[in-house]
Amino acid sequence: MSEAQIKEEYQDLFDIDSNLNRLVKNIELLNYINPLNAAAEKKRFYSAKYNYEPEFKYPKKKFNGYKLHRLFFSQRLERIKDDDIRKLYKDIIYEYSGLIECIETIGKGRKFYYNSLKSFGTPTENALENAKFILRFDDSELNEDLVPKFDALEAKSYFEDYSKRYDFDYTIRISNNLSAAAMVLNHTQTLVLKKSHKYSLNQLKVLSNHEIGVHMVTTFNGKSHPLHVFSNGLPNNVETQEGLAVYSEYMSGCLTIERLKELAFRVIAADSLSKGYNFSDTFHLLHNQHKLDRDKAFAITIRVHRGGGFTKDHLYLSGLSNIYKYAQEGNDLGVLLTGKVSQEYIPTIKKMQELGLAMPPKHYTDAYHQNDNSNPNFDFILKSLK
């Protein structure tokens, strides 16, 4: 069938998809969760010898949460005839309802934490065991590629050069208000770099494969479908998407033990939230107990405590484990690159492709073509994860 015939056949589905697309435009959590005064509060925290609870300020939300909830739940999903597709859209509405609650409670302490729990969960016992297992490995090897020496403008130039291998255009912006070294904003196709950060050559390789090779690839693949759902995001897509991104680091040969330990520390930090740890407690856990450098300890602590307790970071390690096992079994990674999708919906995605409602991936992660990892330790570690 032609695209016009498909739209006519599934008019009710396209109407609902279009309605949801209009509603989700302002619901990008990463636009709201990064503190505006992170640098100033970091100075105060250090000046107080790590015994100070930072008071972060956040961007104002640009939507009426109550009105959005009402509009989401007013969609007449019974008009979608296919059971699997109807369930997908029902799950999407619940997912975005949860994200609205997250955004509305940013900066409100445990209220935000409990909403974050509903959307992103908390580390399992297996996840904690995996994190502790990784921390046993030695990362003391000195390598010139690991020395931070590139500023944000030099990083921007590196990413522009790297991006020539992909057939899409996006914006690179430098910002003072970022908890991570870099991140992709899906709706505006923008890569944001942290102005004050110094990047090592290895980190530039990691970020280019992670942010551009996966997050930008799935952003532009998501936009190539007749339905907007693949661009806006399927439920629970964070674990799959971050798993794909870190797997790209592994396949490109730039994953390090230090990077794996960073992901392990994120799990431990996210778990500290469930124990009621405040900002100082989590920082002391990482810096004093685990002997992590204070800047790295602060960076991980702010990531998990921003908003009031943001548990998302534990999903990177479990996502990597899931994707590694999925790929080792010979499964198709392409279906997971079709947009902001999650593994649990693979059967529905394939059904939608058969019906002409979804497209195969237009762009494919460069690192997935060939395994350039030369360190056997990584295969041992990844195969050992529970």
**How far are the Cα atoms of 149, 199, 311 from residue 159, in angstroms, in the given order?**
15, 12, 29
**272 contacts 282 by C-beta, under 8 angstroms:** yes
Q: Would the CA dihedral through 338, 343, 349, 351 be positive or negative?
A: positive
In this model, does residue 145 exceed pLDDT 90? Answer: no
pLDDT of 259-277, one tens digit each? 999 999 999 999 999 999 9
∠ CA 359-361-365 to the nearest 5 degrees? 170
Q: Give the start-to-end residue ranges of the domains of the chain.
A: 3-384
Listed residue (272, 294, 263, 297) closest to 381, CA to CA: 263
pLDDT of 88-114, one tens digit each? 999 999 999 999 999 999 999 999 999
- State the CB neighbour count (10 A cutoff) for residue 86: 16
In this model, does residue 141 exceed pLDDT 70? Answer: no
In this model, does residue 139 exceed pLDDT 90? Answer: no
What tokens does 205 get? 């390789």
For the sheet with 190-194, list strands across it: 171-175, 190-194, 182-185
HSE toward the beta carbon, residue 102, CA cutoff 13 A: 26
DSSP-based three-state secondary structure for 38: helix
pLDDT of 240-255, one tens digit each? 999 999 999 999 999 9
Going by pLDDT thresholds of 50, 70 and 90, the confidence category of residue 310 is very high
Sorted by sequence, the CB contacts under 8 Å of residue 94 that are 6+ apart come out as 235
Place of tokens 């080792």: 328
Q: At 199, phi and psi to the nearest 5?
A: -105, 140
∠ CA 244-218-99 to the nearest 5 degrees? 85
**How far are the Cα atoms of 60, 92, 99, 182 from residue 89, in angstroms, in the given order?**
28, 5, 15, 31
Listed residue (101, 103, 85, 87) closest to 31, CA to CA: 103
How many residues are listed for the chain in this entry?
Answer: 386
pLDDT of 319-359, one tens digit each? 999 999 999 999 999 999 999 999 999 999 999 999 999 99
What tokens does 72 get? 């989401």
**How far are the Cα atoms of 15, 29, 62, 133 from residue 70, in angstroms, in the given order?**
17, 19, 16, 46
pTM of the model: 0.94
